[in-house]
Amino acid sequence: MFYKDYFKNTSLSTNLLCNCTSVWYDFDMGDTHNINYNTGTSNRFDAIVIGSGISGGWAAKELCESGIKTLVLERGRDVKHIKDYPTATKHPWQFIHRGRISLELERENPIISKCYAFDESAQHFFVKDKEHPYIQEKPFDWIRGYQVGGKSLMWARETQRWSRFEFEAPLRDGFAVDWPIRYNDLAPWYSHVEKFAGISGNKDGIDNLPDGEFLPPWEFNCAEISMRRKVNAHYSNRRMLMGRCANLTQAGEIQLRQGRGQCQARNLCSRGCPYGGYFSSNSSTLPWAENTGNMTIRPDSVVHSILYDEKKERATGVRVIDAKTKQATEYFARVIFVNAACLNSNLILLNSTSRRFPEGLGNDHDILGKYIAFQNYRGSISAGIDGFSDEYYYGRRPVSPLMPNFRNVYKQEEDFQRGYLVFWGAYRNTGIDISQPGIGEDFKNIMSQAGDWSVYMSMQGEVIPKKSNHVRLSKDLQDEWGIPQLITSVAYDENDEKMVKDFLNQGAEILETAGCKNIIQNDNKQAPGLDIHEMGGIRMGKNPETSMLNKWNQLHKCKNVFVTDGSCMTSVGNQNPSLTFMAITARAAHHAIEEFKKGNL
């Protein structure tokens, strides 16, 4: 959409024309090469980072540490570490609905209410359905967090490295395009972010789950120890391991310098942690960037588009709509990092149109918004296990044990492509039957008794990127900031169905081997998106005709724009993606810093 169409179609046109800090001379063609750069220094920076979540926080930290004056734009409200965690220390009885959301809130939010972390204690960190509508051409549950820190405040904190097999997979198995980087390119950056963030885990020596820079691992409980011993002895290629996660089993020197402390095993992380026990932008990277004196952060800043100078063949800045006043302002910089989270980053680039790029910034070959992928969470299994009636465990461990992928690792072996990581664990039920009446001391004693042990298992499967899975902008509907609504057209395919079936069968076999009983398999049929691991649309690659970004995460066609959130991913792997986003961002930021100081950006 050209700027002339934008002004024609939005009720905000008067405010936009009157309040922008720049002068536009050629509205008819959407030309921005006549931007007035002499608008004062308050709107000019060395770098702009769009988004303050996990990847945006890392971009800000790395840039600011190197002396780069950086503006961080966040479309949501400000959230300060500790100060703005209103429910972090509340007890269950202090919530009106004891932590559950009301039926009215559930009816008003049929999408976000599906999320595991959306409850009475954390609802303030989630985007409500009606406040930010989008168009589902196919069912897609878009889970969002619009505030400083983004979803880093309520993420699940599982952090596994990718292996060489994930980076080699597209070329080996013939899907997507070849990654322009390999594991060895990213390995030192994994170490870089692990040391700073604080990742707990065990060095297990697994080919397809590389070891990292670990704090001590969390412990297995007694039932899990028994299960693990039996399974690891039975299979040569299936290993039950403790999970790796961004919760501090002990705070190292660098975490103490961040003002963070040891995880208290409360497992209330989605409320925000007053101890800084888990990694988030708010507790770690953003304060670190702020302490350099080089960061300016601007909440309530909805990014409309990136400005492009056709004569200079570069981006010059960002157009922002104030979330509250709806007034437009432009900010200028030599380097722009796009970290708005996958689908919003796609939306921003699609909306960044000009005479040079009428289909979106850098989109010469109809790649932008295409090949959206996600991770397959549909399969789960429950079971029971006998014994251990005289044993229990301490605290609420914030991480699940896992089993690395064992399908199609070294070569194609199954009738589906790629594979899945498995989460599993055991826990003890309460001894009370809540359907039975009771009162007084006897009832209290029954409530304090422990019941039988239960076991859970779930899959995290790799979805193959396809061009048909895409997002695009609506030509008819806009949000309240005058920005086109996003249309999602993403679905499962036959490969995904086969993978779910294989997991359910293999998972049941594994649990039977572990000594479990009453094994129940379940395909929840959840829509894509609820995994909250959407990736792609602005993928990396070697060929500008088939990818948007080069090996340094620069747009092929606009080298001073970097994209390092989930949208940059060429494929999705079977591991949790956030650690890879962090490592990719740190790597790209250091390249940008080097090029900036050489005068190449």
Give the domain ranges of the chain. Answer: 3-201+243-377+464-491+528-598, 218-242+378-417+419-463+492-527
DSSP H or E segment with residue 585: helix 578-598
Average pLDDT of the segment spanning 574-592: 98
The angle that helices 54-65 and 578-598 make with each other, rounded to 10 degrees, is: 30
pLDDT confidence bin for 10, thresholds 50/70/90: very low
Is the confidence at residue 29, as pLDDT, over 50? no
The 10 Å Cβ neighbour count of residue 67 is 14
pLDDT confidence bin for 438, thresholds 50/70/90: confident
CA 584 to chain centre: 13
Taking Cα atoms as reference points, which of 133, 99, 131, 432 lies closest to residue 267?
A: 99
Is the confidence at residue 156, as pLDDT, over 60? yes
Average pLDDT of the segment spanning 453-478: 98
Contact 503, 462 (CB under 8 A): no
Determine the Cα–Cα distance for residues 150 and 299; give it in Å rounded to an integer: 11
pLDDT score of 433: 65
Determine the Cα–Cα distance for residues 510 and 516; give it in Å rounded to an integer: 9
Q: What is the pTM of this model?
A: 0.92
Share of the chain above pLDDT 70, in %: 93
Its sign, for the CA torsion 591, 547, 377, 120, is positive
- Residue 330's DSSP bridge partners are 319
**Residues 6+ away with beta carbon under 8 Å from 501:** none
Is the confidence at residue 282, as pLDDT, over 60? yes
Is the confidence at residue 146, as pLDDT, over 50? yes
Determine the Cα–Cα distance for residues 36 and 40; give it in Å rounded to an integer: 10
Determine the Cα–Cα distance for residues 241 and 401; give it in Å rounded to an integer: 6
Average pLDDT of the segment spanning 104-111: 95
The alpha-carbon radius of gyration of the chain (Å, integer) is: 24
In whole angstroms, how far apart are CA 159 and each of 113, 142, 278, 439, 580? 25, 22, 12, 45, 8
The 10 Å Cβ neighbour count of residue 168 is 14
pLDDT confidence bin for 446, thresholds 50/70/90: confident
On average, the pLDDT of the chain sits at 92
DSSP H or E segment with residue 322: strand 314-322
**Residues 6+ away with beta carbon under 8 Å from 347:** 340, 471, 473, 483, 484, 486
The 10 Å Cβ neighbour count of residue 313 is 12
pLDDT score of 435: 63
Its sign, for the CA torsion 201, 205, 208, 210, is positive
pLDDT score of 449: 80
pLDDT score of 434: 62
pLDDT score of 206: 97
The 10 Å Cβ neighbour count of residue 293 is 10
pLDDT score of 40: 58
Q: Please work out, in degrees rounded to the nearest 5, the angle formed at the alpha carbon of residue 132 by the alpha carbons of 131 and 138.
A: 130
Average pLDDT of the segment spanning 508-518: 98
pLDDT score of 465: 98
Is the confidence at residue 24, as pLDDT, over 80? no
Q: Which amino acid is at 176?
A: A
Is the confidence at residue 381, as pLDDT, over 60? yes
For 471-489, the pLDDT digits (tens) are 999 999 999 999 999 999 9
For 535-577, the pLDDT digits (tens) are 999 999 999 999 999 999 999 999 999 999 999 999 999 999 9
Q: Which amino acid is at 583?
A: A
- Residue 381's DSSP bridge partners are 457, 521
Question: 3-class secondary structure for 146-214?
Answer: CECCHHHHCCCCECCCCCHHHHHHHHHHCCCCCCCCCHHHHHHHHHHHHHHHCEECCCCCECCECCCCE
Query: Residue 504 is encoded by which pair of tokens?
Result: 């359910």
Tokens 């039977």 belong to 512
**Least confident interval from 433-437, 449-453, 593-597:** 433-437
**218: exposed, middle or buried (C-beta count within 10 Å: 0-12, 13-18, 19+)?**
buried
pLDDT score of 240: 98
pLDDT score of 3: 35
The angle that helices 183-197 and 164-173 make with each other, rounded to 10 degrees, is: 150
pLDDT score of 315: 98
Determine the Cα–Cα distance for residues 584 and 193; give it in Å rounded to an integer: 10
Is the confidence at residue 163, as pLDDT, over 50? yes
Determine the Cα–Cα distance for residues 11 and 13; give it in Å rounded to an integer: 6
pLDDT score of 561: 98
With DSSP H G I counted as helix, E B as strand and the rest as coil, what are the percentages for the chain, rounded to 5? 30, 25, 50
Is the confidence at residue 4, as pLDDT, over 50? no
The 10 Å Cβ neighbour count of residue 367 is 24
Is the confidence at residue 17, as pLDDT, over 80? no
* CATH (one of 3.40.50.2300, 3.90.105.10, 3.30.1490.20, 3.50.50.60) for 3-201+243-377+464-491+528-598: 3.50.50.60
Is the confidence at residue 226, as pLDDT, over 90? yes
pLDDT confidence bin for 56, thresholds 50/70/90: very high
Contact 308, 123 (CB under 8 A): no
Determine the Cα–Cα distance for residues 13 and 32; give it in Å rounded to an integer: 17
Is the confidence at residue 532, as pLDDT, over 80? yes
Average pLDDT of the segment spanning 393-414: 96
Taking Cα atoms as reference points, which of 513, 520, 555 lies closest to residue 229?
A: 513
What are the DSSP calls for 395-433, one per residue? S--SS--EE---SSSSS--SSSSS-EEEEEEEEEEES--
Determine the Cα–Cα distance for residues 289 and 417; give it in Å rounded to an integer: 41
Taking Cα atoms as reference points, which of 355, 346, 342, 364 lies closest to residue 305?
A: 346
